Structure 1
C-alpha cells in the first residue's frame, strides 16, 4: 500500500494525535464540554427562540455570535499556518486544502432547513437536552441516523 492509500484508509485522519488518551485523560474533554455547555446556555445561543429570531431575521444576536466564531476561526488558522504552531504534545498541525463540490451546497441547505425546523444544530444538542428540553432527543437520534445513512450511501453519490 502506498503512502496516499494509507492516508485515505486511516480511520483517525491526518491530524489525529499519535498519542492515545487514557480514560482518565479524556476527563479534560468532558470538563471542557460541560464548560462550553454552560456558556452556551448562559449566552442563550442554544435557545430555540434565539434561533427562530435569527431565521425570521428579527435579531442580529445569533449572526453576531456566528460571525465572531468565523472571525476567530479565520484568525486562528492564519496564526497556526504563519507561526507553525504545534499541538500541546508538540505534533505538527496540518491543514489540508479543501476542494469544492456541489454536494456541499445541498448538504448546507439540508443542514439549514433542519436547524430552522428543529431549532437545534449538532453542537448544542446535548446542552439543550441538559436544560430539560428532552424533545431534542428526537433531533439527536435523527442526526445520528442521518449521519449513519450518509456513511452508508456516500460512495454511491455523484462527485
Structure 2
C-alpha cells in the first residue's frame, strides 16, 4: 500500500493543498438535499426530450459521424444557438438565479490539451454511440450495455484526474 507521500512524489502533486476548480461555482447560498428535487425533475424531462428527439439513438449518432444526416447537427446547432441567446440575455438583463444570486461568467484561457481531449471525446462518442449527456437516458431506456460506456467514462475521468499534472496544457 502506498503512503500519501509516495503518491504525492510519484504523481508530482500535493494532496494537502485544497483542490481549486478551474470552473468555479459562485453560488453563495447552500442548497439542501430537498432542493435537488428540481434538478431530478428537470433531468427526467430532459431525458424524455432526448429519447423523443432520437438524440440517444446509436443509429442517429453513427449517421452524424458518417455525414449521412443533418439530424444531430441540427440538434447540436440549435443547442448552441439557444445557449448563445441565453447567455446574451442573462448578461444583458442581469438575470439572477432562482435563489436571487447574480450569474457570473468567467473567461477561460485556451489550452492545446482541449484539442486532444476533444479528439479523444469525439472518438469515444463515435465508437460507443454515447456521450455523457445521453448515457443516462440510454440506460433508462433499457440499453443496459451502455453501462460499460458509463463505467469507461468514469474510469477516463479518474485517469485524467490522476495524470492531469503530467499532461500538456
TM-score, with structure 1 as normaliser: 0.89
Output the CA distance in 1 between the equivalents of 2:103 and 2:75: 26
2:129 to 102, 109, 119: 119
Maintained 8 Å contact 1:125/1:136: yes
Unaligned runs of 5+ in 1: 1-7
Output the aligned Cα RMSD: 1.7
Output the CA distance in 1 between the equivalents of 2:98 and 2:22: 18
Secondary structure at the counterpart of residue 123 of structure 1: helix
Structure-2 residue corresponding to 1:76: 86
Output the CA distance in 2 between the equivalents of 1:79 and 1:34: 26
Which has the bigger relative contact order, CA under 8 A and spacing at least 6? 2
Q: Within the alignment, does 1:158 sit opposite 2:163 as a pair? A: no
Unaligned runs of 5+ in 2: 1-17
After the TM superposition, list the runs of 4 or more consecutive aligned residues in structure 1 that deviate by more than 4 angstroms. 8-13
TM-score, with structure 2 as normaliser: 0.84
1:20 to 17, 23, 30: 30
- Structure label with greater radius of gyration: 2
Maintained 8 Å contact 2:96/2:102: yes
